[in-house]
Amino acid sequence: MRGNSTNMNAISQAVRTTAGSQVWKRLWKFRWQFAMILPGMVAVFLFNYMPMGGIQVAFREYDIFAGVWESPWVGLEHFSFVSDPEFWKVFKNTIWITVLKFLFGFPAPIVLAIMLNEIRSRRFKRIVQSLTYMPHFVSWIIIAYIVEAMLAQSNGLVNHLLASAGVEKIYFMGEEGWFRPIIVLTSIWKEVGWGSIIYLAAIAGIDPQLYDAAKVDGAGKWKQVWNVTLPNMLPTISIMLILTIPTLLNAGFDQIFPLQNPVNLPISEVVDTYVVRTGLNLGYYGPAAAIGLATGILQLLLVIGANSLSRRTGGSRLF
């Protein structure tokens, strides 16, 4: 028995070492691949994981000389924003803009794709597509200049036209009420063409026989769109819907910040711009980091919610 067990030990020892050396062998076999992945891993560690560690700033009185890890703890002091009516106003502004953008911006590329699909002339279709994709490639700063050039009170194009038609000029950028419509319209104008690409592909994948069958049944254009095109786009639409959920807290910093002015600030200040203003401009790192952490957690919950929704509706998991 004893001899047997030592034998067994020796065997398992041998198995273990070969297993060990096999792991090393496998690792060694993939040494080039690891070397290729390494720079990316380092970048993600530095610029994504290190800031996660830096969230402590939300619970510390950040002292630039002591650094993140040595600054004194202050508990939840920086989270006093939850009882600050100013913050809730900003939060409300954010939700207003994201909901309006969603309501009008989500269906827009679907409609555009269906309309594009009805074009008979290939050339015309290509031209329309090229032109509508174009604004996607232009920065929001340029868009802000376009808004200004079009809507400025004294020499904007729209006001020139209004004036020559005898209508009184409108001070678009000087009235709070115009801010949200401008934001929603420009975001649709900029992204609708680009957003339609994926829906066009979905339409292109529809079996033409389905349309033939509908025609035989006497369905007109509207009925074909309603009963054939839209139902067949549904999987794509639901995927896009789920992908949109996590962005519901994101009002669009790059778009909004350039268009802010003292007049529209009560309505145009959103969480992201508020964090930049209080944190980066005024240097209140703690409170700004606390707001950042709170929105980060909300965002995470939205992603998890979207993912479970996607699983439940039979779609694939997003992650």
Partner 1 sequence: MRSSLGERSLLAVNNLLLALFALSALYPFVYMTALSFNEGLDSVKGGIYLWPREFTWVNVQTVVSNPLVRDAFWISILRTVTGTAIGVIVTGLAAYGLSFRLLPARKFLMVYFLIPMLFSGGLIPYFIVLRDLHLINTFWVYIIPTALSVWNLIVMRSFFENIPEALIEAAEIDGANALTIFWKIVIPTSMPMIAAITLFTAVMHWNSWFDGAFFVNQLELKPLQTFLQSMLANAEAAENLRQGVNAESIGAEASKAVTPTSLRMSVVVLGTIPVLLIYPFLQKYFVQGVMIGSVKG
**Site residues for partner 1, window 95-154 (CB under 8 A)?**
112, 115-116, 118-120, 124, 127-128, 130-135, 137-142, 144-146, 148-150
Name which position in 10, 19, 43, 74 contacts partner 1 (CB under 8 A).
43
Interface with partner 1 in residues 151-190 (CB under 8 A) = 155, 157, 160, 189
Return the closest-CA partner of residue 197 out of 117, 289, 90, 292: 117
Q: At a CB cut-off of 8 Å and minimum separation 6, what does 152 contact?
A: 159, 172, 173
Name which position in 7, 18, 33, 313 contacts partner 1 (CB under 8 A).
33
By CB under 8 A, is residue 59 in contact with partner 1? no
Q: Report how far residue 209's alpha carbon sits from residue 207's, in angstroms, rounded to the nearest whole number.
A: 5
Least distance in angstroms from the C-beta of 2 to partner 1? 38
- Which two tokens mark 131? 């032109």
Least distance in angstroms from the C-beta of 25 to partner 1? 10
3-class DSSP state for residue 73?
strand
Give the CA count within 13 Å in the CB-facing half-sphere of 247. Answer: 16
Interface with partner 1 in residues 282-301 (CB under 8 A) = 285, 288-289, 292-293, 295-296, 299-300
By CB under 8 A, is residue 305 in contact with partner 1? no
- Cβ nearer to partner 1, comparing 205 with 266: 205
Taking residues 228 to 257 in sequence order and writing x for each that binds partner 1 by CB under 8 A, - otherwise, the string is -------------------------xx---
- Cβ nearer to partner 1, comparing 7 with 308: 308
- Cβ nearer to partner 1, comparing 8 with 216: 216
Name which position in 162, 170, 198, 248 contacts partner 1 (CB under 8 A).
198
Name which position in 265, 303, 309, 315 contacts partner 1 (CB under 8 A).
303
Least distance in angstroms from the C-beta of 286 to partner 1? 8
By CB under 8 A, is residue 319 in contact with partner 1? yes
- Cβ nearer to partner 1, comparing 54 with 102: 54
Least distance in angstroms from the C-beta of 57 to partner 1? 6
- Cβ nearer to partner 1, comparing 11 with 115: 115
Full DSSP string of 233-269: HHHHHHHHHHHHGGGGG---HHHHHHH--TTTHHHH-
By CB under 8 A, is residue 193 in contact with partner 1? yes
Taking residues 203 to 232 in sequence order and writing x for each that binds partner 1 by CB under 8 A, - otherwise, the string is ------------x----xx-----------
